[in-house]
């Protein structure tokens, strides 16, 4: 399919051609997808057309090329940080898994920062859940800054920068209302973790559907990432099978990129020396409720929430290069994983993670 140029037809008609194409069940190439998402990001597409486009893609099943094209369109318009630390990491999830859990990756960010790992945390307010990262940070009293220089200084000096998506992706406002009104997972959920404004090359990415693990890593590898774990937890005996984090409820499927090599792994809680627990044990609520649970966790509270954070943070330490849990053949070394779990527990119990939260609060 060729999208007509703006010199021959109005943008509304141009996108109409795209919409008819995807509604027929036909896929878009990477270039076609980039052009289509560029029209959306430039504010030339109506909400009705955007909604129809996103739901047509979801109903048919989005393709890796469509994802990469969308990412390129959005990255080309983002406000990026200048010269962030080369070893900075992002820990985030796609959202959209429907489980409404407590905020895991946000808690992991404070733990990693307390351990001296620079974390460029990219997040947003709730669009398909009750409490997104930005909602919880606001409830915690952590300022959401929009100055690029200040964020860069926070990342270098405090090992932690929270980058609220609307500040760095102003073009995304053209789709935000539609996403909120739809209230379901769309391709934008998968795009979010792939457009980090610090252009990190190390990421622990939670994915809401295991089918998308290879595509997420494919895109990040093509964009220059050096170490990535895309993870998706399998939740047995419930209607919603997947969760976008390393889970205690069942096996976690991992697509790993390690210095140009790809591995597929399966993690079990017992490998990390942690007890199993159902997803319901970490059920969350609104921003205030989730913030209170996070602060209690950093203060030393025990239970499934802490154990989930220990598991995820240990994997993130590996991705950050602060230890290795893989043997040379790409299989998991449980003893090394348990060692990193111990390091994470020490950061919480010794107060380093809470100190990172206090530092973030005081950075206004």
* Residue 290 annotated as part of some ligand binding site: no
* Residue 206 annotated as part of some ligand binding site: no
* Residue 129 annotated as part of some ligand binding site: yes
* Residue 101 annotated as part of some ligand binding site: yes
* Residue 121 annotated as part of some ligand binding site: yes
* Residue 128 annotated as part of some ligand binding site: yes
* Residue 97 annotated as part of some ligand binding site: yes
The values of phi and psi at residue 209, to 5°, are -150, 120
Taking alpha carbons only, the member of 51, 192, 63 closest to residue 121 is: 192
195 contacts 169 by C-beta, under 8 angstroms: yes
Taking alpha carbons only, the member of 334, 277, 286, 285 closest to residue 309 is: 277
First to last CA, the chain: 49
208 contacts 244 by C-beta, under 8 angstroms: yes
Bridging pattern class, strands 119-123 and 160-164:
parallel
Tell me the C-alpha distance between 157 and 265, whole Å: 35
14 contacts 4 by C-beta, under 8 angstroms: yes
Token pair, residue 266, equals 């399966």
* Residue 154 annotated as part of some ligand binding site: no
353 contacts 313 by C-beta, under 8 angstroms: no
* Residue 260 annotated as part of some ligand binding site: no
Coil vs helix vs strand at 162: strand
* Residue 346 annotated as part of some ligand binding site: no
Taking alpha carbons only, the member of 155, 159, 107, 100 closest to residue 130 is: 100
Tell me the C-alpha distance between 284 and 287, whole Å: 9
What DSSP element (H or E) covers 163? strand 160-164
Residues near 343 by beta carbon (within 8 Å), at least 6 away in sequence: 115, 314, 317, 322, 323
Torsion of CA 26, 30, 36, 38, to 10 degrees: 170
* Residue 93 annotated as part of some ligand binding site: yes
* Residue 307 annotated as part of some ligand binding site: no
* Residue 328 annotated as part of some ligand binding site: no
* Residue 96 annotated as part of some ligand binding site: yes
Positions at the binding site for Mg(2+):
105, 244-245
Residue ranges of the binding site for anthranilate:
93, 124, 179
* Residue ranges at the known binding site: 93, 96-97, 101, 103-106, 121-129, 133, 179, 244-245
Please give the annotated binding residues for 5-phospho-alpha-D-ribose 1-diphosphate, written as ranges: 93, 96-97, 101, 103-106, 121-129, 133
């Amino acid at each position: 399919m060729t999208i007509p140029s703006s010199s021959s037809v109005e943008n509304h008609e141009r996108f109409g051609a795209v919409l008819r194409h995807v509604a027929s069940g036909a896929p878009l190439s990477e270039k076609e997808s980039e052009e289509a998402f560029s029209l959306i990001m430039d504010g030339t597409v109506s909400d009705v057309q955007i909604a129809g486009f996103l739901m047509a893609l979801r109903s048919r099943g989005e393709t890796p090329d469509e994802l990469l094209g969308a990412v390129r369109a959005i990255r080309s318009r983002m406000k990026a940080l200048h010269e962030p630390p080369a070893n900075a990491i992002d820990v985030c999830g796609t959202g959209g898994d429907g489980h409404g859990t407590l905020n895991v990756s946000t808690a992991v960010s404070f733990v990693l920062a307390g351990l001296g790992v620079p974390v460029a945390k990219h997040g947003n307010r709730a669009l398909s859940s009750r409490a997104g990262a930005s909602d919880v940070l606001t409830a915690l009293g952590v300022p959401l800054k929009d100055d690029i220089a200040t964020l860069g200084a926070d990342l270098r000096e405090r090992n932690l920068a929270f980058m609220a998506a609307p500040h760095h992706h102003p073009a995304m406002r053209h789709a935000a209302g539609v996403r909120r009104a739809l209230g379901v997972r769309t391709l934008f959920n998968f795009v979010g973790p792939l457009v980090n404004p610090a252009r990190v090359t190390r990421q622990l990415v939670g994915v809401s559907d295991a089918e998308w693990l290879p595509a997420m890593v494919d895109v990040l590898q093509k964009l220059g990432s050096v170490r990535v774990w895309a993870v998706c937890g399998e939740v047995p005996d419930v209607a919603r099978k997947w969760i976008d984090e390393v889970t205690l409820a069942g096996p976690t499927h991992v697509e790993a990129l390690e210095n140009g090599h790809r591995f597929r792994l399966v993690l079990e809680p017992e490998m990390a020396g942690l007890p199993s627990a159902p997803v319901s044990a970490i059920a969350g609520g609104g921003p205030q409720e989730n913030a209170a649970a996070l602060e209690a966790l950093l203060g030393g509270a025990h239970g499934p929430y802490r154990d989930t954070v220990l598991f995820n943070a240990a994997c993130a330490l590996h991705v950050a290069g602060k230890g290795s849990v893989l043997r040379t053949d790409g299989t998991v070394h449980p003893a090394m994983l348990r060692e990193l779990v111990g390091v994470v527990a020490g950061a919480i119990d010794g107060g380093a993670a809470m100190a990172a939260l206090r530092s973030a609060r005081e950075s206004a």
